[in-house]
Each structure stands twice: as C-alpha cells, then as structure tokens.
Structure 1
Amino acid sequence: MGAVSGVWNDVPVHVDDQVGEGVSAELAAFLRNAADGRPVKIVPSVCGGCSGRLFFVLVDDVEGGAERVCAGCDGRAFIADSGEFWEDADLGEAGCPCGSEEFETAVAFSLASDGSVRWVTVGLRCQKDGAVGVYADWKIDYGPTDHLLTLV
C-alpha cells in the first residue's frame, strides 16, 4: 500500500485519495475508513435529470450492485457496472434503522497502483438522522475500468 499522508476527520488519508465536491464530511470519512488503507476516489451521486442529491436506493447486498432513484424527479441510474448484473440481483430497498429511506449517496472506488478500479463501495447517509453506512460493495476483476468512475 502507499504512504499515508495525514488524518482527515480522525481517518487516515492516503496520499492518492480524491474526494468529490459535495460529499458530506461524515460520509467521506466513513467511506475512507471502509477502504482498508487503499487509495480511493469518492464521488457523489448527482441526478442527471434534475441535479438532485437525495435518493432512494435499491441494493443487491449479496453479489453487490445498486440502483438509485432520485427523490426529486424519480430518475433512475445504476451505480458502476450494476446494470450488467441486475436481472439476477437479489434486491432490497436500503433503509435506515430510523425508518427513513432517503439518502445522500456516494461511491468510493478503491484504486490499484495503476489507477484502475478494484473495488466499488456504495455509502449512504440518512437525511433524517445522519447515520452512515455501507449498503453494497463488490470487487472489480476486469479492465479497463475508467468508465466506472462516471457511473455514480
């Protein structure tokens, strides 16, 4: 693994980490901690239709995969390569223990030394109580992977 360059919100930060604008500090710190020291690129989910940032999320927490539904306009989008495996997915609706199902959504892409994506981690932050969690994650074992960074 690479060198650690500092601490951000009590979470070690890798020198190659990148956090996209608009990701809350709580969600970014949680996703960073979930990466086990690997460099990550954390990207916020933003609706392509209305620029909304709150979503209902369907997840396959067995095989990995997620689809987000915009709370503002009902626009749908798969996260990373989820659409390729969705027909066989074991779906569940993401929900917070408080009962809310509306989330800020961001994705941490764990990167290999050559910059390719090796792991996708979907993190959600509840809009009602602020609780954060990882709701789906999966390994990427093919290349090239640059296209995945835009499918958030």
Structure 2
Amino acid sequence: MLVHTGDQVGEGVSAELAAFLRGTVDGRPVKIAPSVCRGCGGRVFFVLVNESGAERECGGCGSRAFIADSEEYWNEESWEDDEPGAAGCPCGGEEFESAVAFSLADDGSVRWVTLGLRCTKDGFCGVYADWKIDYGPTDHLLTMV
C-alpha cells in the first residue's frame, strides 16, 4: 500500500479496506474514517448510493445516516438522471463495512470524498461513490461518515 506521510487511518477500518481506499485516491494525503452507527455502535450497513452521495442504514438497529454532505443533494430534484440504488457486491451480498477516504488539500481542507465498501460475505472491496468538494470550510465533513 502506498502511504503518504500525511495519511491518517481511523481505528476500526480493516487493513483490506484501508489499503484499497489508499490505492484509489490521487497522491494527496487522506484521512480514512470508519462508519460507525451512532445508535448502537454497529459497523455493518446497507448502503444507498448515487454519483453525488450516499446514505447508510445500520444492519443492527436500522438507524440511517448520510455520508459527508450527501443530505444536501439527496432529493428528487437532483436525482433526475441519478436515482440512488442499493449497493451490491458481485457475490450478491448487500451488507458492508463502510469507510470514507477524505482527500486533503495542502491546507488540510477536504477536496474529495470517496466511499469504500467491503462486503461482509466475501471481503470484496469497491468504491461505490466519490465526489468533489468545492467549498469551505470542510472540517465538519470529517465526522460525517
């Protein structure tokens, strides 16, 4: 795995998913954070995705949360050509470990959000959504995983 000196990997992100995410982003430093349910502490999710965002549902308690700034774009108006769909693994699995790689600019602000999912059935890792952040400040995004 290519590691940048500014990389940070949050506790609880599997080595496989962290390595996969690191390999998919540009050469900028990243902060990789795990998705953890605020309701029950669960780490397995069903995920809805489109090109501009994602929403996860805890496999344990069913509580839902948006990834990063997805909620701002999660409406029928913005879905015109990009309606969300359930994330699925090639093996047929629909439950995932979820983590987000935040690509950081030189000043530490978030420039890209990349959602990686690791299937709990077979371990397959994939990027299921990624989008550019072109505003600031962005610190609040780092806790919305």
Gaps of 5+ in 2: none
- CA deviation map 1:98-130 (0-9, x unaligned): 001000000000000000000000000000000
Candidates 36, 46, 57, aligned match of 2:36: 46
The one-letter amino acid of 1:81's match is D
Candidates 19, 23, 46, aligned match of 2:13: 23
Candidates 130, 142, 145, aligned match of 1:149: 142
Name 1:121's counterpart in structure 2.
114
Rounded Cα–Cα distance in structure 2 between residues aligned with 1:35 and 1:17: 12
The one-letter amino acid of 1:30's match is F
Candidates 72, 80, 83, aligned match of 1:84: 72
Q: Quote how far apart the aligned CAs of 1:38 are.
A: 1.2
Is 1:12–2:2 an aligned residue pair? yes
Rounded Cα–Cα distance in structure 1 between residues aligned with 2:131 and 2:91: 26
Flag the structure with more relative contact order, 1 or 2, with Cα contacts below 8 A and sequence separation at least 6: 2
Aligned-residue identity in percent:
76
Q: Quote how far apart the aligned CAs of 1:35 are.
A: 1.1
Runs of 4+ in structure 1 deviating by more than 2 angstroms, as ranges, are none
Q: Quote how far apart the aligned CAs of 1:37 are.
A: 1.4
Candidates 87, 104, 125, aligned match of 1:94: 87
Q: Tell me how many residue pairs correspond in the alignment.
A: 140
TM-score by length of 2: 0.95
The one-letter amino acid of 2:94's match is E
Gaps of 5+ in 1: 1-10
TM-score by length of 1: 0.91
Report the secondary structure of 1:14's partner residue: coil
Q: 40-49 or 28-37, which moves further after superposition?
A: 28-37
Name 1:109's counterpart in structure 2.
102
| RMSD after superposition | 0.6
Rounded Cα–Cα distance in structure 1 between residues aligned with 2:2 and 2:46: 30
